[in-house]
A and B are shown apart, each in its own frame.
Chain A
């Protein structure tokens, strides 16, 4: 295999669930994708297209049936052991028994950071997601949007080179979601992390990404890869840009064609 400088390198990945059984499902078929450092790539597609599965394979939370994934030149397994990525789930997945600060410190504890480092990192991260003053609150005392911000702070606390996000704003209301988009855009700009972002919202994907990868379902295949050539960093105004609408409409049409083809 040749050396490359990709942040994530996905080569001919196929994932089959329940292989050989009557309920066999080909979730992903022969996916190849290169993601460059500091890119913001969104995976988008109708439900059942395997976008979350692909994200979990990058994280090595799932094993591919065939094919290979490399993260910064290492195997996905080694990358996980080296704690190269942070993962954000759709639900904030905060631990109920930990305060906000302690939740952000969780990965740092596992990774053996000292107490001072943990405290310092946690307060930096909470400042980054604009949650200073909430250190000693428990998760249930926060709104859904605030909880998700804590989980982003937690994922970034150990400075991972890669951030994997699985529909992180899917459970939030539209207003909160737009605010979170803006915030994530700012965080990405400041941390220079590579982000792979799973979503089913086209406007969200276009607003945030440098590239959008469109997947079709059953079996999950890459239908289109679209460069989002809108200027960075992006502000609210981008959402009124005619080119933004063109891109959104283009993706919407393609998606509709995919879904029509399936039914």
Chain B
């Protein structure tokens, strides 16, 4: 893509962001809004730049929790999907539970999990994140492994292909787009899971703890700066997965350009 095309594609988004921020600044100033309700972007930015060291420190602490939980939850989810896909009986027994579990607000368990592993222990947050991302990961992977085109499967049978070959050459490639969809979802969920479970208590250098503390002490600009850090990490995580997706499944429909017939 040429630079000009990149600009044309993203310009509207950038312009919109700038307009929203300017409007925000303007509203806060004109209506003289109290800073505990909504600080001005300029005030948040000033706080953000002067506290950058501390913010990156706590941001990294929570990012590690999110990444750890993401890794554990996704691995186990994928593993569970492979096992479930292999044995239809397990599939039919477990899937309803998995779908039900997926709609349980797992964050509600955060205080209990904090007690299990210790409030200070990053592992308690990782466990929460892992449980949150486990179900969407498992369900999506399972869908990709089992929702295979009938003819594509018959083709493999016509070659007398073994189950292992069918898995490697058909089911896994078929599942990859579903899995990346789940990774993207899990990326967003893992940051939310980590920060919110820290609201229920955690290490002093954790993002969620910092936000509740600063808000309680009326340092709202500081709390907002931490929220910005959380946003930056969340978006970066998402973009990294998008990038990897392009590398791994460049053939997928979502990357097709209109240049070809």
Contact = CB atoms under 8 A, between A and B. Distances in A.
Interface stretch (A88-96, A174-182, A234-242): A88-96
Interface stretch (B112-120, B154-162, B228-236): B154-162
B162 to A, nearest CB: 8
Contact of B157 (A61, A96, A143): A61
A109 B149 contact: no
Nearest to B152: A93
Most buried by A among B160, B252, B256, B261: B160
Given A93-B151, A93-B152, A141-B260, A81 B158 contact: no
B159 A96 contact: no
B249 A97 contact: yes
A110 B256 contact: no
B145 to A, nearest CB: 14
Contact of B155 (A80, A89, A140): A89
Contacts of B159: 83, 106-107, 110-111
A166 to B, nearest CB: 9
B170 A61 contact: no
A91 B249 contact: no
Given A61-B154, A93-B152, A81 B173 contact: no
Contacts of A111: 159
Interface in A41-96: 59, 61, 80-83, 85-87, 89, 91, 93, 95-96
A244 interface: no
Contact of B161 (A82, A85, A110): A110
Contact of A143 (B176, B249, B256, B261): B261
Given A59-B158, A81-B160, A85-B158, A95 B170 contact: yes
B251 interface: yes
A138 interface: yes
A106 B169 contact: yes
B160 A87 contact: no
Nearest to A106: B169
A249 to B, nearest CB: 34
B247 interface: no
Contacts of B253: 96, 140
B151 A91 contact: yes
A59 B154 CA distance: 10
Which secondary structure dominates chain B's binding surface? Answer: helix
Nearest to A86: B158
Contacts of A82: 160
Interface in A127-153: 138, 140-141, 143
Interface in B54-103: none
B236 to A, nearest CB: 28
Interface in A147-164: none
B163 interface: no
A17 to B, nearest CB: 16
Which secondary structure dominates chain A's binding surface? Answer: loop
B154 A110 contact: no
B169 A109 contact: yes
Contacts of A80: 157-158, 160
Most buried by B among A85, A87, A111: A87
Most buried by A among B159, B173, B249, B252: B159
B160 A83 contact: yes
A85 B159 CA distance: 8
A83 B154 CA distance: 13
Nearest to A61: B154
Given A80-B160, A91-B151, A110-B165, A96 B252 contact: yes
Contacts of B157: 61, 80
Interface in B129-160: 149, 151-152, 154-160
Contact of A97 (B151, B155, B251): B251
Contacts of B169: 95, 106, 109-110
A138 B165 contact: no
A61 B253 CA distance: 30
Interface of B: 149, 151-152, 154-161, 165, 169-170, 173, 176, 249, 251-253, 256, 260-261
7 contacts: A61-B154, A89-B151, A89-B154, A96-B251, A97-B176, A110-B156, A141-B260
Given A95-B170, A138-B251, 20 more contacts: A80-B157, A81-B160, A82-B160, A87-B154, A87-B158, A89-B154, A89-B155, A91-B151, A95-B152, A96-B251, A97-B249, A97-B251, A106-B159, A106-B169, A107-B159, A110-B159, A110-B160, A110-B161, A140-B253, A143-B261
